[in-house]
Every structure is written in C-alpha cells, then in structure tokens.
A and B are shown apart, each in its own frame.
Chain A
Amino acid sequence: MRPLIETHNLCKSYNGTDALKNVNVKVDRGEVLAVVGPSGSGKTTLLRLMNLLEMPTAGEIFFGGRDTASSDTNRLTLRRRMGMVFQQAVLFNETVYENVAYPLKIRGRFKEKNDPKVRDALKLVGLSGFEKKRAIGLSGGEAQRVALAQAMISEPELLLLDEPTVNLDPRNVSIIESVITKVNRERGTTIILATHNMLQAEELATRVAVLREGELAEIGDAKEIFRKPSDFLASFGRVLNVFTGQSQLTEGGTAIIEIGGGVKIEALTTRTGSITIFIRPEEIIVSKSPIVSSARNMLKGKVEEILDLDQSVQLKVDAGRQFTVNITKKSFQEMRINLGSEIYLSFKASSVYTV
C-alpha cells in the first residue's frame, strides 16, 4: 500500500540554522505516529512542512503519492485533505459556530444556518451547545477542543496535532486524547501527533519517531521503542525510576544492580558493569505488609509525596533511593496511605528495563 504521507530527505533551515536534517518518514493510512523529542528538536517544523504551510529548504514531501511541491493550486488541494491543530489554540474572533463552519464555508460546502455537520463536530469534542458562544471567551481547553472540531469538520485524511494538550488541565487532556483515538478508530483518520509527553505517545501511537536536533534518531513500533527507550529518549521523556549502578551477574541467570542508598535490584540482564535501568511506575506493586510472590524485588520505603493525578495517585517513596509509583484512587483509599506511611514495593526482575 502506498503511504499517505512520505518525506524524502526533508531539510529545513531558518537563517542558516538547521531545524530539520534529512528526515525520512513514511506514514500509512490509518496509522497514529507520535513524533517525540525535546523542545527545539524540530517537531513543529516537521508538522508545519507536512501541512504545506512552509516550503522545505531541500527534500520532498509526497501526499497520497503526489509531489506537494508541484504547484500552489496543488498544495491547496492537498492541504484541504489535512487538518492541523496548533499548540496554542488560535480561533477567529467570532462565534464558535462560525469558527467551526469556516472550513466548510471556504470549500463551498456550507449549508447556512444550523449545519448538522457543525453540530456533529462540536458533539465530537464534547462542546454541544457552545455554538453561540464567542470564541475569545473560551478557556484554553475549550478553545483547543474547538480547534480540533475545526480541523475535523472537513473530514481530513490526515490530522496533524502539534502538542495539542500541552498546558491543559487533565480533564481536557483526556477528552482530547479520547477524540484522537476515536477518530482514528472510527473514521480511519491518519494521525501524526507531536508531543513530548511519553505516556501520551505510548497510549495513543502505533509508531513513534524520535527527533533529536532536527534529525530522525529512531523510528519504529511504539511498544518496542518504549520497552527499551534509548538514553536519549529517557533523558527528556519523563521516564521515571531511572537509576544507574554497577551490575553483577548471579548464578540464577539474573543480575544484581547496586543503585546506591543500599538498594540492590535484581534484573533479567546479562550485562555487567555500569548500566542504567528503569522501572515503570505502573509495574510496581504497592502493599502495606511484605507479600509472598514471584516478584524478585521487594523494597521497604516511606511515602514522601502524594500527588493526585485525576485518574490515579502518584506516590514518591523513599526506599533508599526515591521511587515513583502509581496506584488507583481506590487502592489509595483502601490502604489508608498517608505521608510517612511505610509501604512495600514489589516488582519482577523482568520489569527492570535496561537502557
């Protein structure tokens, strides 16, 4: 199958500074590609080039097999098959209805007042009944959802999202994330999502492209990339529970890694010497008393910090080294955890990932 969008040695420089260097990306129809990287790594530039808002300095972009550089008319035609949501929601100073109807209007597909498509688009983002409101009076999250409705109303084949949930509250983040999943599953919309939120990328994307200083550092299956994140990915990706220590092999085919603070961790690795490991917060089991299980690691610690995360509760636990764990609200209440509570952390040797 021909990819929906494809870049060939894409380069972009601004005033002699390279923002993108030889980027080759192919995205198939129906895929969700997350583009991750620290700020300034070229995510936005890549998306803007794909939306044909700017011309590349060198290289080509093919959309649906067509060269996007051929003519301005061609670029307009192709751009009309995409939708883009910018990091900062930009809306026109008019009503929500007029904002959402605009893409239909300029395509000559507008059915005047009360177009059911506008209603559907607003319903998609959970803003039914917002038609008559002024766009400038909306909250950041609402504005971003209107922007998403605007991008989706023309039923684009490709939806480009540039950090759509950055600086938004958790409720709006989860609404936007669920809309992304929904349009991908139900309408088959291909999605390219730029984000520096690893959890978001992991949750939404089928494939991940990692950008580093304008270059494509890695690209591949999301599960694989997040199972074994590179040093670089771990360095900006808010990967938690990252420790560096000395690894020594045991007779049982595992390794013991001393990470300082008197903490020894057993891991399934054959590497020795200095290594970096991490444990995902959700793979750590929390208990009030020692438990008997197959988990090779059990640490005792004190709760130092409690963070309410909307869906779950995040605990920072001092077990010699500080660990971060996530538990559900229900467990949190049932276990009666307070600051200073002593708890046990258990995790399997196979939950210890090496970088």
Chain B
Amino acid sequence: MNIILEGLVKAFWLIVSLDREVYEIMFLSLRVSGTAVMIGALLGVPSGATVGLKEFFGKRFLMSIINTLMGLPPVVVGLLVYLLLSTSGPLGVFQLLYSPEAMIIAQLIMVIPIVMGVTISSVSSVSRAIREKALSLGATDWQMTLKVLKEARLGILTALIVSFGAAISEVGAVMIVGGNIRWATRVLTTAIVFETELGEFGLAIALGLILLLLAFLINWVLTYLQWSGLRR
C-alpha cells in the first residue's frame, strides 16, 4: 500500500515539475505512434477503400488475411522487423535498428491491417445504392470512392482511434526494434517495463498515468470529432 502511495506522490511531482526525461519519453511515444498511424492512414485508407469497393478474384482470401493480421502479436512484428533491419538482414544497410524510425516501421506494420480492415468493413457497409447514386449523378470512379469515404467517415475515424490505441500501448515490438535506449528510443511502455523491473515504482506509475491520460485525451478528441461528424 505504501509503495503505491509513494509512487503516486512521486508521479504527481514528476508530472507537475515537468521532469525533462518524463516529457522526452512522452513526446517520443507520441511521435512514434502518431507517425505510424498517419502513414498507416495514408496507405491503409485508400487501399482499404479499393479492396472494399472493387470485386476481384481472391478478395475473400485477401480479407481473411487482413483480418488475421489485425490481431498480429506485436512481439512477432518486432521480431520480423528486427530480422529485416539487423545488420545481416535484407534492409541492414540502412542501419535503422534501435532508432525511432525502426519503431515507426514496426508499429506501421501493426497499424496498416487495422486501418485497412476497419476501412474495408465501413466502406462495404455504405450501401451499393449510394455508390450507384454517385455514379448516376456523373461521378468518376475516383469521385465515387471519395464520396463513399465521406459517407464512411465515422468508421474511418474509428479505424484511426483503434490503431492509435493499439500503437501507443504496444510494448513488444518497440522493445525489440528500439531497444529501450535512454534518451533515444525509450517510450512510455518500454520505460514502464524497465522502471518496474528496477523497482522505481514512482516513475513507473507516473509514466503509466501519462499513458492513460494521453490515450484518454486523444480518444476524447476523436470521439468528439466522430460526434460532430454524425451531426454534420
């Protein structure tokens, strides 16, 4: 009980005193996961929309692969990216291992199937009638796709919320490819693991609180957007 109380007090102090290391860790978390989600959205939304709207051979098979990848264990992704980026790996020449870029790549691999999967399902749920209506009014295929994406905007926002939540709370992949290097690749989750192992519960709780707070704030903003999107 004492440990928790002490931890909470310390956590509070670290947060209000704007402890440099704590904030550095927080910003790196935001940067890594934010970048992964942004790139993931840029790649995943158009490709998800294409898969959702087009009929082609093997579509079902592709969709079950994407659905499987949505539940990909972060540790496995970490291992895969590690093997790709390690000096002897196929992408070793870029020397990206143990860098924030490596962490972004790992989270991107996690995020893309989520963004694609949710985009596919929300785009497919926009009725065929809406698509035909757009075409009938003279839309090109591309204009029709944009219209469908606009109709599916709530689902796509959900995709972003879900993938950001998955990315920022993930620990396995960033641990393997980032290495949890202080002042370099230490993010909230890896720091919590590290500090807990060291018995530095105050710092661990502080970081945990910040992680929760961040997740809450970002979800709150996106949910607000969702609601105004509903009314719009």
Contacts and interface: CB of A to CB of B under 8 A. Distances in A.
Interface residues of B, number: 18
A231 interface: no
A51 B232 contact: no
Contacts of A134: 231
B132 interface: yes
B151 A53 contact: no
Nearest to B231: A134
Given A90-B129, A92-B151, A106 B140 contact: yes
A80 B136 CA distance: 8
B147 A92 contact: yes
Interface string B132-143: 111111111001
Contacts of B129: 86, 88, 90
Q: Main secondary structure on chain B at its contact with chain A?
A: helix
A92 B130 contact: yes
A102 interface: yes
A154 B138 contact: yes
A79 B151 contact: no
Contacts of A76: 138, 140
Nearest to A80: B138
Contacts of A94: 150, 232
A107 interface: yes
A267 interface: no
Contacts of A83: 136-137
Contacts of B140: 76, 106
Contacts of A151: 137
A150 B137 contact: yes
B132 A102 contact: no
Contacts of A93: 151
A83 B138 CA distance: 9
B143 to A, nearest CB: 5
A76 B151 CA distance: 22
B110 to A, nearest CB: 31
Contacts of A84: 136
B138 A79 contact: yes
B133 A86 contact: yes
A76 B231 CA distance: 33
A28 B164 CA distance: 58
A106 B133 CA distance: 13
Nearest to B232: A94
Contacts of A106: 137-140, 143
A103 interface: yes
Nearest to B154: A93
A51 B134 CA distance: 12
A83 B150 CA distance: 22
Contacts of B132: 53, 86, 90
Interface string A146-165: 00001100100000000000
A331 to B, nearest CB: 44
User: A53, A80, A92 — which one has the most chain B CB atoms within 10 A of its CB?
Assistant: A92
A347 to B, nearest CB: 45
Given A86-B129, A94-B232, A103 B138 contact: yes
A90 B129 CA distance: 7
Name the 10 nearest CB pairs between A and B, nearest first: A80-B138, A90-B133, A90-B129, A103-B137, A84-B136, A106-B143, A106-B139, A51-B136, A103-B138, A106-B138
Given A53-B135, A76-B138, A92-B134, 13 more contacts: A51-B136, A53-B132, A79-B135, A86-B129, A90-B132, A92-B150, A93-B151, A94-B232, A102-B134, A106-B138, A106-B139, A106-B140, A151-B137
Interface of B: 127, 129-130, 132-140, 143, 147, 150-151, 231-232
Interface of A: 51, 53, 76, 79-80, 83-84, 86, 88, 90-94, 102-103, 106-107, 134, 150-151, 154
16 contacts: A53-B132, A53-B136, A79-B136, A79-B138, A80-B138, A86-B129, A86-B132, A86-B133, A90-B129, A93-B151, A102-B137, A102-B147, A106-B138, A106-B139, A107-B138, A151-B137
